[in-house]
Structure 1
């Protein structure tokens, strides 16, 4: 799955995801000025399947119904905590499907939100270790 890592996520995650077999790419700087709707369209047109972001509100702001990408939202943007959970993030990316918004919660729950036949549907992936500061 060709993945782009949003500008608000620690850039070190790109290489860490590559080390876990994910085709991860840095967020192009010229995309920074795009609003969420235009950004999602641009990401699709560039051939990406997944956007990794720390914007947990994107699912409420933009419908992914009918889109060819998935959005994976991280609970933090703190480098150490994100890099400690790279295996769980990589696993989440591999389970994300087009049109899904997957939120990794602080407590380790992974919630998937999508729309099927016009109806909102939620389900969960098995939980991962919590994202807690030490």
Structure 2
């Protein structure tokens, strides 16, 4: 599965998904791109999902227009130590291998 880590996530989180093709926004040189444009780029480059710490994204975007899955990670802070606790939940969703478009809330 091809995943993108939003710029608000620690880059180290990418190491928690060795069985997937994972990129950061920085890897793709997409820093500073607004959410709507970012979602378009994800679709153009055949990404399966975006992982983000942006809780507002789910309310700001029309997911009928952007048919991509977005994992919204909910944790007290966005450190690798905290977010890595959510990795098993993310992997469980991915394992189903049929991600629905739109937000998928992941929290402990």
**What's the TM-score, normalizing by structure 1?**
0.68
1:62 alignment counterpart:
61
1:102 lines up with 2:101 in the alignment: no
Instruction: Tell me: higher relative CO, structure 1 or 2? Use CA pairs within 8 A at least 6 residues apart.
Output: 2
Paired position in structure 2 for 1:112: none
Q: Secondary structure at the match of 2:74?
A: coil
- Could you say which residue in structure 2 is the equivalent of 1:23? 21
Deviation beyond 3 Å, 4+ runs, structure 1: 93-96
Q: 1:78 to 1:55 in 2, by over 3 A?
A: same
Cα distance in 1 for partners of 2:39, 2:69 equals: 9
> What SS does structure 2 have at the residue aligned with 1:74?
strand
**Alpha-carbon offset, residue 37 of structure 1:** 0.7
Whether the aligned pair in 2 keeps the contact of 1:72 and 1:92 (CA below 8 Å) is no
- Provide the C-alpha distance between the structure 2 equivalents of 1:46 and 1:89, rounded to a whole number of angstroms: 21
TM-score normalised to structure 2 length = 0.82
RMSD of aligned Cα (Å): 1.9
2:41 matched residue in structure 1? 42
Between the aligned partners of 1:79 and 1:49, the Cα distance in structure 2 is: 22
- Structure 1 stretches lacking a partner, 5+ long: 106-129
Aligned length: 104
Whole-Å separation in 2 of the counterparts to 1:38 and 1:22? 24
Instruction: Specify the SS of the correspondent of 2:10.
Output: coil
Q: Which runs of 5+ in 2 are unaligned?
A: none
